[in-house]
């Protein structure tokens, strides 16, 4: 019997990382506060998952100020799109 979970990406096992990648795959970008509110997370929890995904090269951030308030926007990278799609394909295969 072939290993049916071999193509699942361990980076997306967390529901939070799955949520981040889902948000970024259907939007051009999302800022920190939007993702925090949508997923109902604490700053620290979201930040740690964003840092991990950024470290893997799946997302990147742009920090700026809007008025006097800091704003960080996150974008999915081409590598992130490819890896996330492969993970989704593996999930589909698993469900068949």
> What are the structural domains of the chain?
26-95 (1.10.10.10)
What pLDDT does residue 1 have? Answer: 47
Rounded distance, CA 48 to CA 95, Å?
30
Count other C-beta atoms under 10 Å from residue 35's C-beta.
Answer: 21
- Sheet with 30-31: list strands edge to edge: 30-31, 69-76, 59-66
Q: What is the DSSP string of the chain?
A: ---TTTTS-GGG-SHHHHHHHHHHHHSS-EEHHHHHHHHT--HHHHHHHHHHHHHTTSEEEEEEEETTEEEEEEEE-HHHHHHHHHHHHHHHHHH-
Per residue in 45-77, pLDDT (tens digit) is 999 999 999 999 999 999 999 899 999 999 999
Per residue in 82-93, pLDDT (tens digit) is 999 999 999 998
What pLDDT does residue 7 have? Answer: 86
Per residue in 1-46, pLDDT (tens digit) is 467 788 899 999 999 999 999 999 999 999 999 999 999 999 999 9
């Amino acid at each position: 019997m072939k290993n049916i979970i071999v193509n699942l990406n361990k980076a997306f096992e967390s529901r939070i990382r799955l949520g981040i990648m889902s948000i970024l795959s259907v939007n051009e970008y999302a800022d920190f506060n939007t993702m925090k509110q949508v997923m109902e997370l604490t700053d620290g929890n979201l930040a740690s998952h964003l840092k991990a995904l950024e470290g893997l090269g799946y997302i990147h951030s742009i920090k700026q100020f809007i008025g006097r308030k800091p704003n960080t926007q996150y974008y999915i990278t081409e590598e992130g799109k490819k890896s996330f799609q492969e993970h989704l394909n593996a999930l589909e295969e698993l469900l068949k």
